[in-house]
């Protein structure tokens, strides 16, 4: 039997008004929003044993800021292979399209103008990013995660890339899709 999963979701974003953005440190958009979408995934065996694919699509309906429509779509995908009982390798992809907003630097003037002061929150940002990751299970409770993600293309956004290293600790010994944890 091939495992399949489809899960719709609804989320509400309520901004925290206690922090400020300054210079190149934009900590958030401070916009109320409604996020709707779905997660889907499946294992690809018996054709491709120990391989799975999963994705998440979301559409964000954001409060207009300065009369600008800032709604956006996001798609995140993952193709994973459980190479051994302890090692999982993944290819990652992320895509975003913002349907309104300002184009940089065409739609706003330089430092000191009102548009420049809030431009990080209202850019018509679109991007495509690719990456890869590996997870190694030390035992039934602890995993080490290492990943890389980088921009392939983008408009009105920064080109980003970076390495992430993390440790996961499971508190429950409940169900898991990994053979190692059965």
> Does the residue 19 lie in any domain?
no
> Does the residue 24 lie in any domain?
no
Tokens of 134: 């590996």
Note whether 28 and 20 are within 8 A (CB). no
Number of domains in the chain: 1
- Per-residue tens of pLDDT for the chain, all 182 residues: 456 789 999 999 887 765 555 545 555 556 678 999 999 999 998 889 899 999 999 999 988 777 788 899 999 999 999 999 999 999 999 999 999 887 877 667 667 766 666 666 778 889 999 999 999 999 989 999 999 999 999 988 888 899 999 999 988 765 555 544 44
Between the CA of residue 34 and those of 18, 71, 88, what are the distances in Å? Answer: 21, 10, 33
Range of the domain at 98: 4-14+30-181
> Does the residue 22 lie in any domain?
no
The pLDDT, as a whole number, for residue 174 is: 58
Q: Which of 94, 58, 91 is nearest to 76 (CA)?
A: 94
Residue 121, domain CATH: 2.40.160
Q: Which of 40, 43, 41, 14 is nearest to 29 (CA)?
A: 14
**Segment holding 115, helix H or strand E:** helix 114-117
The pLDDT, as a whole number, for residue 180 is: 45
> Does the residue 68 lie in any domain?
yes
> Does the residue 20 lie in any domain?
no
Sequence-ordered list of residues with C-beta below 8 angstroms from that of 61, at least 6 positions apart, any chain: 33, 34, 35, 36, 71
pTM value?
0.78
> Does the residue 25 lie in any domain?
no
């Amino acid at each position: 039997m091939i495992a399949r999963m489809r899960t719709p979701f609804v989320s509400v974003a309520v901004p925290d008004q206690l922090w400020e953005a300054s210079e190149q440190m934009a900590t958030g958009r401070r916009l109320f929003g409604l996020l709707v979408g779905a997660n889907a995934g499946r294992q690809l065996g018996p054709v491709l044993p120990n391989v799975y694919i999963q994705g998440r699509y979301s559409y964000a309906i954001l409060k207009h800021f300065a009369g600008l429509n800032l709604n956006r779509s996001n798609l995140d995908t993952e193709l994973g292979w459980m190479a051994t009982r302890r090692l999982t390798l993944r290819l990652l992809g992320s895509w975003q399209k913002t349907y309104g907003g300002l184009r940089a630097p065409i739609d706003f003037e330089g430092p000191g103008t009102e548009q420049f002061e809030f431009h990080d929150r209202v850019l018509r940002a679109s991007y495509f990013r690719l990456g890869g990751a590996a997870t190694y299970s030390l035992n039934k409770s602890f995993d080490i995660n290492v990943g890389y993600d980088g921009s392939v293309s983008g408009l009105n956004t920064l080109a980003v890339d970076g390495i992430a290293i993390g440790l996961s600790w499971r508190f429950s010994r409940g169900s898991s899709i990994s053979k190692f944890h059965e």
